[in-house]
Amino acid sequence: MSVIETDVFIAGSGPIACTFARKIIEKHDSARVYMVEIGSQDNPIPGAHQKNSVKYQKDMDAFVNVIKGALQPVSIPPGDAFNSTLGAAGWNPPVGGGGLVSEGFNPLQQPELNLRGTAITRTVGGMATHWTCSCPIPHPEERVNCPIDRTKFKDLLKQAGEILNVNENEFEISIRHREVKKVLKAAFPNREIKNIPLAVKRRADNPKLVTWTGSNTVLGGAISNKRLTIRDETRVTRVVRKQGTLDTIEAADLLDLRTNKKVAVKAKVFIIACGAICTPQILWNSDIKLQALGRYLCEQSMTFCQVVLKKTIVDAISANPDYKDAIDKHKRKYPSDPLPIPFDDPEPQLMIGYSDNAKYHVQIHRDAFSYGDVGPRSDPRVIVDFRFFGKQDVNKDNRVEFSPFSPLDWRPGVTDKYGMPQPTFYVQRSADDAKRDQEMMEDMTKTALAVGPFLPGSYPQFMEPGLALHITGTTRVGLDKEKSVADANSRVHGFKNLWVGGNNVIPDATASNPTRTSVAYAIKAADDVISVLKST
């Protein structure tokens, strides 16, 4: 086994891991950071957002397939593999043998308790290579369990917005954005219809294009610092305690997936920031089985529909003198186009925040997800997406567990595709969750119809559990060691030099997008890491 020595070891390369790396390199004069990612580097710029490519900004539907290709499911129950029409000479599963245990399938998963839409992105940059970049400030009810002083956390959220390059007005130039906003404000005068705070900046050299924030943006100048090393296609198997101690990590065991050779990294501090599933997975595999590990899992419910702009809205665009120059220019170039909306008009990007009366987060926009492409059903310029995100009450029994083996003796092991302990979900929504979900669906239907009729095939619907990809709580922070995995600085309870980061540290039920909140926690944690480095 080859041995590498460094100062800081980071598992993961998403925006949270990169927040740690940036802050440590900026605030410490000599600390070396060794970052490990299980996926490959798929962009010449490490961690860059793939939607910055011109072709995807011109064809949003094409980006849907990029997202589908990037997401790997977490826990899939095996299906019925018995083939009744197969000739008797062919192999079929034995009678009473159950489903096949193909690699990556989970025979322990009960379908009724699964988060079937949950998936992981394994690449340098993580999900920040394709995320929506939505970065709202969480409502006070979405941070009631935060163990950090309220004023301090407000400042951390502000710093997080700066690191993520969050702006609110980059889509104000859009005709559709302004018109949809006007219609909604008139229809719902008592609700706050506002621009989504997005991690994005319109390009100065070509304002028709934007630059979406990726993990490279989060790294900032640290991306070219010689003290930062990023190693891809390498599995972090576990972290190992220093011999004779219970509270100090000495090394991380790695597996180079290209050569299948083991590697050890010795460091002063260790940070696990691999997402809400893989972070507790590594801790569990390291025999760090704290009482709250994997528990208090919260995921957002989600309703979705698409509408076609009302004809009255399209007519209002034609009649508005503010748009005359843009429309005339478009008509001169495309005289046969029946729509008065230029092809390069940016999409709408609006939201209605979580409130005391409506306990869910609303996004009214056009964006690429793993679903929702329009295709030939309509002109994409008249389509608006409605996505409502509902919170899930904090419940200790909602959890993810990790299984090194199956209790069925003929199955030698249940692992994920990378040979790590298989995650299994045990998640249910409460009666209060169900009540809020129903209110959310009713509200979405009413709100969407103010803009236009439903696009056939995209009627109001609940999406697969887990599809929001906003799981929180699996390594939650807190002051009570029995109900949390880490302290207010994200340092794992009982350890001097081990930290966690990601949406998994959030101890609250949330409805809004959690990335900005997770970055805020990571900024505070990085300061704690630096204090330990300087003391050693």
Note if 470 is an active site residue: yes
3-state SS, residue 275:
helix
For residues 525 and 536, what is the distance between their CA atoms, to the nearest angstrom? 17
Angle CA(63)–CA(64)–CA(67) in degrees, nearest 5?
90
The residue length of the chain stands at 536
Residues sharing a CB contact under 8 Å with residue 461, sequence separation 6 or more, in sequence order: 303, 304, 305
For residues 491 and 494, what is the distance between their CA atoms, to the nearest angstrom? 9
Neighbour-count burial of 53, counting CB atoms closer than 10 A to its CB (0-12 exposed, 13-18 middle, 19+ buried): middle
CB 41 within 8 A of CB 232: yes
For residues 426 and 106, what is the distance between their CA atoms, to the nearest angstrom? 13
3-state SS, residue 412:
coil
Q: Give the amino acid at 532.
A: V
* Widest distance between CA atoms in the chain: 79
What does the radius of gyration of the chain's CA atoms come to, in whole angstroms?
24
Q: From start to end of 159-309, where are the E strands?
A: 166-167, 193-195, 198-202, 210-212, 228-231, 234-241, 249-256, 261-266, 269-272, 301-308
| Catalytic residue chosen out of the listed positions 28, 177, 470, 493 | 470
Catalytically active residues, by annotation: 470, 513
